[in-house]
């Protein structure tokens, strides 16, 4: 910092300092008091920072506990484990005592782990709702599974587009209480009728990968709200006349065929590398998002179609985590805790526990 800038600040903000504190012992004492205030503030800031780090660490530990299907009481065990390891691992380090103290101050009691999990689940839910509100369309998948207590749990899974990513997120896991007689059979009949209607819209589904080849009519677009037929037809005609965008979709279909061949080959040989292949729907939506805003209506139609078809994997994953989380040893898990654990296990979002830690009152472990 330049001396002239410091002098200008001092003359402007502390013009009465010289008259209020004449040169001598009084000025020296005033300077010492100001310096001690700064040091005290810095010391308090360091304390708050350390407490914030301990709280962030407890969020990270709580998230690891829930994502590994462990009970909340394992927090104390994990803390004991870390202290024993730290004593041996950091024995030769000069700051060993500081490391041990930070581990000791890290809150990881069963109650704390429970509260951390609820906070992180609430934050994830806020992010989910924000992205769903920003998405042009979303669809819901509903799945029913029985837990270890023979109580039916109702999973609500949303599928929506967020940028170049199609997300499938668990919104809630809710208990179904009371009689459900006739509900399942009625639901099956409704699904059968809906799948019968899907067969009538094969051209609409083909459109998302072959927009330069398909011709759609008013009936095809009747299930997609907010689509202007006039704008749609004009944009389709413009796209078909553009060699650049026609070639873009030809390249997309070549990539989709290549991925299909790779998946077929990988499945025959049981290659784990198959999981690393880019999902087809992500490739499709990325291609559509590359189009300029002049094709906005076409983009809406493609995103709507891509949003409709969720994967059965999301439901299977939900059932698997339900069995793992609410086991015989944890059969008394509350509905709130089960919902939070399921959400944190199924979500692709990473909780920002540092942000939560900054917004909460710092407390020591108990």
Domain boundaries of the chain, sorted by first residue? 3-114, 141-354
Convert the pLDDT of each residue in 28-52 to its tens digit.
676 666 666 555 444 543 443 455 4
Residue (of 357, 353, 347) closest to 125 by Cα position: 347
Please report the pLDDT score of residue 188 as a whole number.
Answer: 67
Rounded CA-CA distance 321/176 in Å is 18
Mean pLDDT score, 21-34: 67
Rounded CA-CA distance 222/238 in Å is 22
Q: How far apart are the first and last CA of the chain?
A: 46
With contact defined as beta carbons under 8 Å apart, do 205 and 220 qualify?
no
Q: For residue 361, is pLDDT > 60?
A: no
Convert the pLDDT of each residue in 58-99 to its tens digit.
899 999 999 998 999 999 999 998 999 988 888 888 888 888
Please report the pLDDT score of residue 308 as a whole number.
Answer: 85
User: What does the mean pLDDT of the chain come to?
Assistant: 82
Convert the pLDDT of each residue in 175-205 to its tens digit.
887 666 566 667 667 766 766 666 666 778 8
Convert the pLDDT of each residue in 334-347 to its tens digit.
999 999 999 999 99
Please report the pLDDT score of residue 167 as a whole number.
Answer: 93
Residue (of 73, 151, 64, 108) closest to 326 by Cα position: 151
């Amino acid at each position: 910092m330049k001396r002239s800038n410091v002098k200008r600040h001092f003359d402007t903000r502390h013009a009465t300092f010289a008259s209020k504190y004449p040169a001598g012992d009084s000025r020296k004492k005033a300077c010492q008091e100001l310096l001690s205030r700064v040091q005290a503030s810095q010391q308090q800031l360091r304390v708050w920072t350390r407490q914030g780090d301990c709280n962030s660490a407890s969020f990270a530990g709580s998230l690891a506990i829930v994502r590994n299907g462990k009970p909340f009481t394992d927090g104390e065990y994990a803390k004991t484990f870390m202290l024993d390891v730290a004593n041996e691992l950091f024995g030769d380090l000069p700051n060993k005592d500081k490391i041990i103290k930070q581990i000791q101050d890290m809150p990881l009691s069963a109650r704390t782990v429970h509260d951390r999990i609820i906070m992180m689940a609430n934050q994830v839910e806020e992010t989910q709702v924000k992205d769903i509100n920003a998405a042009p369309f979303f669809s819901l998948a509903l799945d029913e599974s029985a837990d270890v207590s023979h109580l039916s749990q109702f999973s609500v899974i949303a599928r929506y587009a967020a940028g170049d990513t199609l997300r499938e997120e668990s919104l809630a896991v809710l208990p179904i209480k009371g009689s459900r007689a006739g509900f399942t059979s009625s639901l099956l009949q409704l699904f059968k009728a809906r799948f019968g209607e899907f067969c009538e819209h094969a051209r609409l589904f083909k459109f998302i990968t072959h927009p330069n080849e398909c011709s759609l009519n008013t009936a095809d677009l009747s299930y997609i709200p907010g689509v202007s037929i006039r704008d749609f037809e004009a944009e389709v005609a413009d796209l078909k006349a553009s060699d650049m965008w026609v070639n873009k979709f030809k390249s997309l279909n070549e990539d989709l065929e290549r991925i299909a061949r790779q998946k077929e080959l990988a499945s025959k040989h049981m290659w784990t590398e198959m999981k690393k292949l880019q999902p087809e729907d992500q490739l499709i939506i990325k291609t559509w998002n590359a189009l300029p805003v002049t094709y906005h209506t076409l983009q809406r139609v493609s995103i709507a179609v891509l949003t409709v078809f969720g994967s059965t994997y999301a439901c299977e994953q939900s059932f698997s985590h339900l069995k793992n989380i609410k086991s015989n040893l944890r059969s008394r898990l509350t509905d709130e805790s089960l919902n939070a654990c399921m959400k944190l296990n199924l979500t692709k979002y990473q909780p920002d526990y540092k942000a939560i830690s900054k917004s909460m009152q710092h407390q020591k472990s108990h």
